[in-house]
Amino acid sequence: LFRSNGQAGLRMLTKLSELEPLQHVCAQALSQHLRAMGRVKEAETALLAVLKKSPRDLGTMIALADLYMHVGMPKLAYRLLVGARVAFGQSMAVVPDMVQAALMMGSVGEAIESLYLMHRVGTGDDDTTAFLARLLFAEGRESEAEKILNNNRAAFKKIQSGWIAAEQQPQIGRAHV
């Protein structure tokens, strides 16, 4: 619909987002479309209007946080996600986005805390565990990283293969003889 007639699609989504039963989903779709068109402020306005009517809509909160990260506002996204997590009884749904926002802010410690949380409750996969271990190594917390890796062979193999590949790469700035 949007490819063939973008303006008609926008009008339709705008109308649908005013209907009570559909407003959350339609506002999120409208926001995605507006964002793709570079109309970020309008995308934010659509999501905020829905949150004003339904302040406890987690999907819209996550969509708004995603918009903020997309436009380079990770601190605002992180605060929104932390608030959503508290409002929804420590929901795990927002934790992966909290990791991303924390890393965008340069807050490796907060990202590690969120990854540890995912690891402890079992919502993370082998990639999550491997990423947590890599961040721990980067922060000089080798013993914690090794403990995590010892408990997860798949994550250990993933990091080990990364080390081997890195060692086989030519060093930048060195002449090869």
pLDDT of residue 174: 46
Task: Note whether 27 and 50 are within 8 A (CB).
Answer: yes
Q: What is the pLDDT along the chain (177 residues), one digit of tens a residue?
A: 444 456 666 666 666 556 565 566 778 888 888 898 899 999 999 899 888 988 888 889 999 999 999 999 999 999 999 998 888 877 888 999 999 999 999 999 999 999 999 988 888 788 888 899 989 988 989 889 888 888 766 666 666 666 666 667 665 554 443
Write out the two tokens for 164.
């081997």
Write out the two tokens for 71.
């436009």
pLDDT of residue 101: 96
pLDDT of residue 64: 95
What are residue 88's phi and psi, to 5 degrees?
-110, 40
